[in-house]
Amino acid sequence: MFHYMLIFMAYHSSRWIPRNQRFKFQIVNAVFTALVLVPQFYVMGRPKSSRYCRQPLLNNLSASIALSFMASGFSVIFTLIDPVPQSFRASYHVFGLLSFCQGLCTTILTLTAAACAKTTPELYYLSLILTLACICSAGFFSVRGGLWLTKRLPVFGLRGNNEP
């Protein structure tokens, strides 16, 4: 969910800026994308990262890098196009499902790879950071989704303002 959250933040942050000044935001977006990708490439390039680890953390990092590139593309598209076509929104939500599955895999692999902290420390700690980011973003979207549901559905006697 971390990558899904990056796109969400870029989209909603860009809507505060007038259309003719969004180029400056694209520069900030590129810098933020670099801040997300550089540590991942750094850890992947470290010699210790290729050592044996019982869990496939390096493969998971490769998937995270691929999703980071896709997220940067989505964030550029979503901040440049106004209004965003429905097909892009649908593909964004499918990407969110993919991001959720990858975050779940990251969490499971990291929690079962405590021994890798000794053999591949950089890779393990980056996986731990990505796990925390995935958990926090999943929590954010769970609360946001719960609030959306309570607003939309008359559950447990909660009614809108115009209902008797």
Please state the domain extents for the chain. 2-141
Q: Which residue has the higher pLDDT, 159 or 18?
A: 18
Name residue, tokens 């003719």. Answer: 20
Q: What is the helix (H) or strand (E) element at residue 156, kind and residue range?
A: none
Does position 137 have pLDDT exceeding 70, yes or no? Answer: yes
Q: How many CB atoms lie within 10 A of CB 103?
A: 24
**Residue 164: pLDDT band with limits 50, 70, 90:** very low
Using one digit for the tens of pLDDT, what is the confidence trace for 35-80? Answer: 989 999 998 888 877 777 788 888 899 999 999 999 999 988 888 8
pTM of the model: 0.82
For 120, the token pair is 């591949």
d(CA 9, CA 129): 19
